[in-house]
Amino acid sequence: MPELAEVELSRRRWDVALNALVRAVRCAKPTARVLRDVQLDAVREALTGAALTHSEARGKQLAFRFGADRWLGVHLGMTGELRVEAPDHEPARYDHLVIETGAVALVFRDPRGFGRVRFEVGGDEPAWWSSLAPSVVGPAFTLAAVQGFLTRHARAPLKAVLLRQERFPGIGNWMADEILWRAALHPARPAGALDDAEVALLRRTVRRVARDSVTAIADDWSYPPSWLFAHRWGDGNPCPRCRTTLRRAPIGGRTTCWCPRCQTG
């Protein structure tokens, strides 16, 4: 279920084990899809006795470093979550990875199995980490970059374009709706139809929502009532800004929620 802010929260959760030594690495039954090319034996070999030294989130991607050069990559997919359990935690169904330390066990659980674990040993950043798109809150997320991307995907609806991780890493279904709602742009609007002022507004709003979501998110992954997020799933809920009944329909292949009164641009 995670987007940028939920991923960051997940990272911090596992950080309780910073500097702790790994005692064992386990997993529940088959888990083939999530681990893919990763050899559990190799992970076990490389991590046992090593300490968690660093963690970082980039968009929806996570990297945990053990020792100086052991890289564990995690993508939470649709239903993945990082949990902290008792050190003797017995791997349950959907626990694809359990990293036991003296004080806690770090657990990656993912029922639908759309998530992914990567692993690599090496001094430099692995390619799957270093080749990720630049952050939407960083200096590379320029007006020209956004404008160029919208032009390239001129006929696609804004909603679909905002979901593209190669330019908007960390933006997911609810965050795209939140951004378009705040920018008062209709989600079905073709990306190439925005004028200069609207492109600038969209870029500003992406950055604003990306920043604000990290501080506004609660431990249970909820958001304040002033956010569209808090109202988007129920039927017939009012727009938090104008009280007009929100609409919901598939746009760009995903369920989209918007305010028919506010989002006319």
Residues that bind DNA (CB under 7 A): 1-3, 6, 33, 60, 75, 77-78, 93, 111-114, 152-157, 160, 163, 165, 172-174, 191, 221, 233, 248, 252-255
Cβ-based nearer residue to DNA, 100 or 178? 178
Do 121 and 69 touch, CB atoms closer than 8 A? yes
| Nearest in space to 62 (alpha carbons), one of 209, 155, 111, 54 | 54
Structure-token pair, residue 190: 């073709």
247 is catalytic: no
106, containing H or E segment: strand 105-109
CB 48 → DNA: shortest distance, Å? 28
DSSP state string for 52-101: EEEEEEETTEEEEEETTTEEEEEE-TTT-EEEEE-TTPPP-TTEEEEEEE
Cβ-based nearer residue to DNA, 187 or 240? 187
3 is catalytic: yes
CB 40 → DNA: shortest distance, Å? 18
60 is catalytic: yes
Catalytic residue among 2, 91, 187, 240: 2
Cβ-based nearer residue to DNA, 84 or 193? 193
Cβ-based nearer residue to DNA, 17 or 60? 60
29 is catalytic: no
CB 49 → DNA: shortest distance, Å? 32
107, 212, 249, 263 from 235: Cα distances, Å: 34, 26, 11, 18
Catalytic residue among 33, 204, 247, 254: 254
Cβ-based nearer residue to DNA, 238 or 253? 253
The CA distance from 106 to 121, in Å, is 20
CB 88 → DNA: shortest distance, Å? 23
At residue 21, the 3 state secondary structure works out as strand
Catalytic residue among 6, 8, 58, 60: 60
At residue 190, the 3 state secondary structure works out as strand
4-39 burial code (b ≥16 CB/10 A, e <16): bbbbbbbbeebeebeebbbeebbbbeebeebbeebe
CB 259 → DNA: shortest distance, Å? 16
List, by residue number, the catalytic residues.
Answer: 2-3, 60, 254
